[in-house]
Amino acid sequence: MPSPEELAREKIDLLLEGCGWLLQNRSTINLSASRGVALREALLKGRDEVDYLLFVEGKALGTVEAKPEGHTLIGVEEQSGKYGKNLFDVYGKWRDPLPFAYESTGVETQFTNHLDPDPKSRSVFALHRPETLLEWLKPEHQLEWLEKMRDYISASGSVDREHLEADNVLGPIYKAFGEKLWPLMDELNLTLAA
């Protein structure tokens, strides 16, 4: 008799297939077999494994953590987030850490978009299609944040780190530049003052 988690995985398999993901086992991996591949029980660093590792166009971009039906998904996003940081270097990645994480019982599903300025796990009705997740990685979607930055600079005449952090404008920009952002902001302020 299947365990509760195995029953959840059977339901999640159907959800993934219904959204355009090709399911594969790690013994028969072929990332070019489909635009979107969901690799079951993918191995991670530290002898860990994730229930599903999601690949689009051959590169990893998300995870799905399966839990038995009735299991609360609150707090599971921390586990999913950890998996997105522990990939073997052999896997190509769209971003490091991976930007998308799901937690699912096969009945209830939560989703975290780590590209958001303030990432939070949210209930969703379905898993996203591979092309949707790939679209969210494109620069046009990040243009919205650059426009917010432009509007802020136009209104204030300078770049103030505290205000930008308070307005959640820096989140996506910081994710792109990391600690290199602060010297860039200093340089921008000098240019604006000149």
* Strands laid side by side in the 49-56 sheet: 22-25, 36-43, 49-56, 59-66, 100-104, 109-113, 122-124
Rounded to an integer, what distance in angstroms lies between the CA atom of residue 100 and that of residue 120? 11
Q: Let me know whether 38 and 57 are in one domain.
A: yes
Asked which of 130, 159, 180 is the last residue of a domain, the reply is 130
Residues 84 and 34 in one domain: yes
Same domain (yes/no): 38, 105? yes
Do 35 and 130 meet the contact criterion of CB atoms below 8 Å apart?
Answer: yes
Q: Single out the residue in 130, 154, 180 at which a domain terminates.
A: 130
User: Is 144 found in the same domain as 118?
Assistant: no
Q: How far is CA 178 from the centre of its chain?
A: 17
Domain count, the chain: 2
Q: Can you give the pLDDT of all 194 residues of the chain as single tens digits?
A: 888 888 989 999 999 999 999 999 988 899 999 999 999 998 888 888 889 999 999 999 999 998 878 767 676 666 666 767 777 777 888 888 889 999 988 888 889 888 887 788 888 888 999 998 988 887 655 666 667 667 777 777 766 666 666 555 666 566 556 666 777 777 777 777 66
pTM above 0.85, yes or no: no
Bond from prior residue into 172 cis (ω within 30 degrees of 0): no
According to DSSP, residue 122 is labeled: E
- The parent domain of residue 19 ranges over 4-130
